[in-house]
Structure 1
Amino acid sequence: MALNFESLLEKFLKDELTEEELKVFLENGNTPVNQDILYRVLGEKLHQQAYQGLSMPDNTTRSFQQMLEKAETLESPPAVIIPMFRKNTYLKYIRIAAVLVLAISVTAYLFNSRTASVTQQQSMADLNADKIPGGNKAILTLSNGAKIILDSAANGVLARQGNTNIIKLTNGQLAYQPKGSNTAGEILYNTMTTPRGGQYKLALPDGTLVWLNAASSIHYPTMFSGKAREVEITGEAYFEVMHDTKMPFCVRANGAVVNVLGTHFNVNAYGDESSTKITLLAGAVKVGKGLANTLLSPGQQAQITGNSEIKLSNDVDVEEVVAWKNGLFWFNGVDLPGIMRQLSRWYDIDVAYEGDIPPRHFTGHVFRYLNLSEVLKILELSHVHFRIEGKKLIVTP
């Protein structure tokens, strides 16, 4: 008699699936009903610590290696993605769950690629160092050039700029609080900069919320006046703009200009990426560079290349675009260099390549607060290996 999905999951966790059962398990793992079963069963086991393998990452890794070896024998292996846990899963157990679920995703992808040898598995124990994930780190540069390290600054009023107090709230967010008239006096500018391994949340003087990703910056006035609210960014930022029809909001990045009234959007303008990407989640924006411009609707993305050409993409996965803000790496067919650029920014490492690295693409989700070694363990399932020398991560075949 055929086993139901929950029974197959139980056998999967014990590494007892036959080749045929493994194929059925992966073919059916992506349906909504079976995803609910996956979340429930794994959540129960993680909460009760009933499954020893999940509390021992080395055992879990060996289990997946054995599963890979079995999968190599399948004549027509399926490709299926089993997604990350929902947000309300117990956080103290999610670190290992994240490793588990991404491993399932990478494994399923490898069933289709079938281009690597499973005999080249290298233990991450060879790493001579590890890197902790990034966190809330930023430097605020005031109009007079003075700098405030925000992650170590105490809560409360940090400085006064003209008629505005700069406040660090109890949740770590930076905010601006006008004192007295907002119309008199010189317009002063501040710059918030996040290092590699940093991110920060900011409330601009008008109440607009900004999330800065790692290795990014935003330059803005401490008080908005005139006909427009203008800011300039480098790197990546997500905006939730306060609506004001009398004073439109404008973001400048890499020569591109984003004009909005009130909306939610993401700007990715890293210099080491092939294009500047503006993705709209809600509302409407106008994107322009040079003589080219276009209007975006929710779910659309404008990609701007160095020659100012604007390419419009429809039905973009906005969850993938803003995953960084929500604490996730989101890999959707991302190649290895693309992943390395993300890891470099978040873990403050330099990446070098050694030897003939086979082409790989990855699909899956993993939490950004895992240590670097935990992420690399999963990537190693695709038969690419790594070593760390100081602040340098070296990728090897």
Structure 2
Amino acid sequence: MMDNYLNYFENKSFVHWVWEPDEQSQQYWDDYLKTHPEERQAIEAARLVLSQLKSSGKPVEQEELNTLLPGIYTKINQGRRAPKLRRIALNTLKYAAVAVLFFATGIGFMEVKYQDTLRELSAQMANVSVFNGRHARLILSDGNSIVLRDKQSNIQYRENGTIIINHTDTISVPSHLSKAGLNQLIVPYGKNSSLTLPDGTVAYINAGSRLLFPQAFEGKNREVFLVGEGYFEVRHNPKRPFLVKTSDIHVEAVGTTFNVSAYPSDTKIEVVLVEGKVHVAENSFKLLKNKQTMHPNDILCFDKENADIDLKQVKVENYTSWHDGFLNFESVELHKVMEKLERYYDIQVSYTNPSLEMKKITGKLALRQNQDDVLRVLASTTTVQIQKTEENNYIIK
């Protein structure tokens, strides 16, 4: 019996059936329900959540969710069927609805005590413009937001329930907050942050990224949800694997160091293993579809369009040095380097000639320098000119 609700949201066939139904998908799922009647209640619940979460193309507002989710629970408990569905872009699912039930693994979905968690996560993930803010933010499970004003912030969760910000400020988490409640670290473009999780694992979160994690890890796994890029130094615990889940794949480790790059705008998700061993699997109807085992110096590239997986050996520092404040690149196309700099410094770059984007370059940049100095160094190592046109806009010619 498939009692993990997240599995439904990771199944492309299920998503197509709910959001863009046709005769073929309807026939498949009708037959599936006949042969798997024990899953009917779970499937109806998943359909209801998907259909209720969609909107006419604008983000779901907190007030709307406050009204929406209790109704979903009521309908689930009454055993009603999902309402007629409207066509909507699948991208909304990828970073909203998938995450809604991310932490439902092992949790009784219809228990009211998890209602606030679902509401909070839905609202947070629905806002696609969170990376355009000036400062990083830590959002606690009760909705309180802590502004992190430094370009590079440091957050430490302690076992006694306190949170240390930038090694100086101490925040006491109210005792009434559930340990299963979700916290979220949002790192906008131009910022980066390091986070010590409740189990001692250290996560370095790159610009334009967000990480969702519980107040305390409970259950058999330690699970987080990543949008963007993160470098993880996992605290060893063979009895409780550490899982980094993204829109398309998840990475399972016991105690190891690895980098995950899963930006929504990128066509591929990359996992680079520094030390230890990890398992990577595609999110699907079967939890461990196309499971791959990685060893040190491996990079796994997952193509989000066709689900192809490429596994090979690389020089890992070219993919992980950002968390140490450097950017290494060897014979890399200029546009790929500039994409990283655009995120890191929150700048915009254009080209006078598209052929310039494909120019191969090699070098090392110190990211802790200001953007003008870094771009000046970059230009000196190539045959291109980089001209500043506005405060954060540049043109390459």
Q: What TM bracket, shorter-length normalisation?
A: 0.5 to 0.7
Q: For residue 150 of structure 1, what is the aligned residue in structure 2?
A: 148
Q: Which residue of 1 aligns with 2:309?
A: 310
Cα 1:196–1:179 shift into 2, 3 Å: closer
In structure 1, distance between residues paired with 2:274 and 2:217: 24
Size of the alignment, in residue pairs? 255
C-alpha spacing 1:351/1:313, structure 2 compared with 1 (3 Å): same
Aligned to 2:162: 165
Is 1:208 aligned to 2:201, yes or no?
A: yes
Q: Secondary structure at the match of 2:259?
A: strand
Q: Distance in 1 between matches of 2:263 and 2:291?
A: 20
- Identify the structure with bigger relative contact order (alpha carbons < 8 Å, sequence gap 6+): 1
Deviations 1:164-207 (A, max 9, x none): 222225278x9x999999xx955111000111111111110111
Give secondary structure in 1 for the equivalent of 2:238: coil
Q: Which among 215, 237, 242 is matched to residue 249 of structure 1?
A: 242
Contact kept? 1:165, 1:179, Cα under 8 Å: no
Larger Rg: 1
1:242 is paired with a residue whose SS is: coil
Are 1:141 and 2:132 matched, yes or no? Answer: no
What letter corresponds to residue 170 of structure 1 in structure 2? Answer: H
SS at 1:322 equivalent: helix
Q: Which secondary structure state, in structure 2, belongs to the residue aligned with residue 311 of structure 1? A: strand
Q: Which runs of 5+ in 1 are unaligned?
A: 1-135
Structure 2 residues not aligned, in runs of 5+: 1-133
The letter of the residue matching 1:384 is V
Contact preservation (8 Å) 2:179, 2:216: no
Give, as a single letter, the amino acid of the residue that structure 2 aligns with 1:388.
K
Q: Is the 8 A contact 1:285 1:297 kept in 2?
A: yes
Deviates more, 1:316-325 or 1:268-277: 268-277
CA apart distance, 1:376: 2.3
Deviation at 1:342, TM superposition (A): 1.1
Of 223, 226, 229, 2:222 maps to: 229
Cα deviation for residue 367 of structure 1 reads 0.7
- What amino acid maps onto 2:333 in structure 1? D
Corresponding residue for residue 252 of structure 2: 259
Letter in structure 1 aligned against 2:235: M
* Residue of structure 2 in register with 1:299 after alignment: 297
CA deviation map 1:90-114 (0-9, x unaligned): xxxxxxxxxxxxxxxxxxxxxxxxx
Could you say what secondary structure the match of 2:379 adopts?
helix
Q: Determine the structure 2 residue equivalent to 1:393.
A: 393
Give 1:385's aligned amino acid.
Q
Percent identity over the alignment is 31
Distance 1:347 1:241 in 2: 27
State the one-letter code of the partner of 1:218: L
Q: Which residue of 2 aligns with 1:365?
A: 364
1:273 Cα deviation from its structure 2 partner = 2.8
Structure 1 residues 296 and 354, CA gap change in structure 2 (3 angstroms): same
Change (3 A) 1:294 1:395: same
- 2:236 is paired with a residue whose SS is coil
Q: Deviations over 1:336-383 (max 9, x none)?
A: 111110111111112222345434111111211222222222333423
Report the CA distance between 1:143 and its aligned residue.
Answer: 1.3
- Answer yes or no: is 1:190 the counterpart of 2:183: yes
Kindly tell me: are residues 285 and 156 of structure 1, through their superposed partners in 2, closer, same or farther at Cα, counting changes over 3 Å? closer
The CA RMSD measured in Å over matched residues stands at 3.3
- 2:210 aligns with 217
What is the SS of the residue equivalent to 1:312? strand
CA distance in structure 2 between the aligned counterparts of 1:164 and 1:186, rounded to whole angstroms: 9
**Hey, what does 2:192 align to over in structure 1?**
199
Correspondent of 1:350 among 311, 325, 348 = 348
In 2, the alpha carbon distance for the partners of 1:210 and 1:158 equals 10
Are residues 352 and 205 of structure 1, via their aligned partners in 2, closer, same or farther at CA, if it must alter by over 3 Å? Answer: same
